[in-house]
Amino acid sequence: MTLAIQGLTKAYGGLHVVNDVRFEVPSGALVGVIGPNGAGKSTLFSLITGFLAADAGDVSFEGRSLGRASPMERARAGMVRTFQVPREFSHLTVRENLLAAAPGQSGERLIDTFFRPGRVKAEEAAIAREAAETIDFLRLAKVADVPAGRLSGGQKKLVELGRALMTGARMILLDEPFAGVNPVLIEELSVRIRELNGRGIGFLIIEHDLAALNKLVSTLHVMDRGVLIASGAPAEVLGNPRVRDAYLGGAAA
Amino acid sequence: MDAYLIAIAIITAIYVLLALGLNLQYGLTGIVNFGHVGFFCVGAYTTAILSEHGVPLVVSFPLAAVLAMAFAWPLGLVSIRLREDYFAIVSLGFSEVVRLVATSERWLTNGVQGIAGIPKLFAGWLTGPAQSYAVLGLLVAFNALAILAMLRIVRSPFGRMIEAIRDNEEAVKALGKDPAGFKIQVLVLGAALAGLAGAVYAHYIGYISPEQFLPLITFQIWMAIIMGGVGRISGALVGAGILMLFLEGSRFLRDVMPFISEVSMASVRLGVVGLALILFTMYRPQGLMGDFTRK
Ligand SMILES: Nc1ncnc2c1ncn2[C@@H]1O[C@H](COP(=O)(O)OP(=O)(O)OP(=O)(O)O)[C@@H](O)[C@H]1O
Ligand SMILES: [Mg+2]
């Protein structure tokens, strides 16, 4: 089991935003999380990745309990998230955004920058090739050298995904990766995500575009008001009356 | 060049050194350091006290920078993880503590009387204008080295990471990199430049006392980088120049406004710089050398 979510709970005041959520993501799986607005999906991601401290529950990744590990430690352990509202490095170009994400760069140490420029340069060249591939892969070549702050919302989402890929993570948590991305590219992205998944990267994806998500994932988890209300194969889950109620209730409110 | 102009050039060059450090911290990394003058003060007192005890300048100068770094490191360690506005307050507090210690620890610093008779640079070799030129030359060399080092940093993966931190710290964490480690290093580097600036200042003026290290100095450096262009190395150069232009230029206001007393003149001059700052933020918020989008 790659990722095990064990009773995560988070309350603000008296309101349980995430309430005893538990499920598992097998290694190399493609899993979706859905639910109406405010269901607690993004909060769940923050709990999993350590950006928020859980009131109760734990997360284990590749057999190791993460307890109170920091977001940095969790990312370095191989589990990386993206953000619903893109957090691009706005003054860096798209390419630089991706380069910054590459792990273990000796050039990020001042000593090496000044005293081992050869090594830094060689590493940088290798990372640059990887970044160029990722940029092509995400169809960002046209804006590769534009400051990321000037991109459209959809393009920024692609930059977030690109950075996550550059980290070499084995488990990637995507918070609404398709929001603002054009339908043609969504199709393509889905193909590429499946391809990456074929290479062993697990994905946990929050998405409101159910049509696109259903084609992608093998398992869906549905949240409503902090609680996990259904889990299973997409067709089965979407036929569940409780799930329909949750969505309609959300729309009526 | 007459002595007055050389003197101004020297003071400007000291400001440039300070502005380069602050620009590295704020412009490139987003660290809101309101205590820059504290490191300047540590550098000045370090070399002044060591010189009093006969330590040669070639030793006391590097030690001034090292001691400023030694103050910055623990400060960063305990407070850099704070939210940026809290760090601003802590750093301001730090510089005031430094000044208060310089005021009260008379055995070490001679208190409010300050330390006089700090040996001049190049004393014994050069005198008069030649000496001033040499001091200026030394400052130009320090600044050139600082700029070269900063260019190297800006173009390195380290430089990319500190700009990423400035743009979005949470995203940096999400990638598995610890912003605090980078920020502490930057704080320490900026402090080294301020310490060095303090050392040159002490030996150039020849006399230091706590009242020369008021928070006002910090805010003048801030004005310089805001007017020059935050996040740009050229911004520090140009900004320090504009600052001096206003500080010194306003001296001549007395010629056109003879009714203002000597005492109120200091306030008027500060008002002029403040007014310039307001005009800059209104009409050219990106500073003279442009915004911090690119280096
Ligand atoms: N810091 C906070 N204080 C109080 N309430 C919060 C806080 N953060 C989130 N919430 C609440 O938690 C609930 C869940 O928010 P969350 O962002 O996790 O929802 P979501 O399922 O991701 O929704 P969406 O689909 O709209 O992105 C919301 O009702 C939100 O208002
Ligand atoms: Mg959300």
Q: In this structure, are A239 and A130 located in the same domain?
A: no
Residue B292 is predicted with a pLDDT of 54
B236 is a domain residue: no
Name the residue at shortest CA distance from atom 2 of ligand 1: A12
Could you list the residue range(s) of the whole structural domain that residue A200 is in? 23-52+68-88+156-252
User: Does residue A1 lie within any of the structural domains?
Assistant: no
B219 part of a folded domain: no
- What CATH code is carried by the domain that includes residue A230? 3.40.50.300
In a domain, A57, yes or no: no
Please indicate, yes or no, if residue A61 is contained in any of the structural domains. Answer: no
Contacts of A70 in chain B (CB under 8 A): 173, 178
**Residues A76, A180 within the same domain:** yes
Nearest residue on chain A to B185, judged by CA atoms?
A110
* C-alpha A38: how far from chain center: 18
| The domain boundary residue, chosen from A108, A128, A150 | A150
Residues A164 and A223 in one domain: yes
Q: What is the per-residue pLDDT for A85?
A: 95
Q: How many CA atoms lie within 13 A of B294 on its CB side?
A: 6
Decide if A29 is inside a domain.
yes
Q: How far is CA A210 from CA A155, A207, B69, in A?
A: 20, 7, 55
Contacts of B231 in chain A (CB under 8 A): 91
- Whether A202 is in a domain gets the answer yes
Query: Of the candidates A74, A80, A105, which has its C-beta nearest B157's C-beta?
Result: A105
- Return the pLDDT at A1: 62
Q: How far apart are CA B220 and CA A186, in angstroms?
A: 52
Pair (A77, A145) in one structural domain: no
Per-residue pLDDT of B197-245, as tens digits, reads 999 999 999 999 999 999 999 999 999 998 888 888 888 999 999 888 8
pTM for this one?
0.92
CA distance B89 to chain A (A): 25
Domain count of the fold of chain B: 1
Q: Is residue A62 part of a domain?
A: no
CA of B136 relative to ligand 1 center, distance in Å? 59
Tell whether the model's pLDDT for residue B293 goes beyond 50. no
Residue A14 domain-assigned (yes or no)? no
Considering only CA atoms, which of A251, A228, A233 is closest in space to residue A242? Answer: A228
- Strands A30-34, A202-206: pairing is parallel
Flag whether A112 is in a domain.
yes
| Distance from the B138 Cα atom to the nearest Cα atom in chain A, whole angstroms | 23
Are residues A177 and A139 located together in one domain of the fold? no
Q: Give the domain extent around B89.
A: 2-213
Please check whether residues A191 and A201 belong to one and the same domain: yes
Is B175 in Cβ contact with A167 (below 8 Å)?
yes
**Segments of chain A with pLDDT less than 50:** 252-253
Q: How far is the CA of A18 from the centre of ligand 2 (A)?
A: 12
Chain segment B49-73, per-residue pLDDT in tens:
999 999 999 999 999 999 999 999 9
In chain A, how many domains are there?
2
Instruction: Answer whether residue B134 shows pLDDT above 70.
Output: yes
Q: Domain boundary residue among A122, A150, A178?
A: A150
The pLDDT tens digits of the residues spanning B10-38 come to 999 999 999 999 999 999 999 999 999 99
DSSP string, chain A: --EEEEEEEEEETTEEEEEEEEEEE-TT-EEEEE-STTSSHHHHHHHHTTSS--SEEEEEETTEE-TT--HHHHHHTTEEE--SS----TTSBHHHHHHHH-SS-GGGSHHHHHH-HHHHHHHHHHHHHHHHHHHHHTT-GGGTTSBGGGS-HHHHHHHHHHHHHHTT-SEEEEESTTTT--HHHHHHHHHHHHHHHHTT-EEEEE-S-HHHHHHH-SEEEEEETTEEEEEE-HHHHHH-HHHHHHHHHHHH-
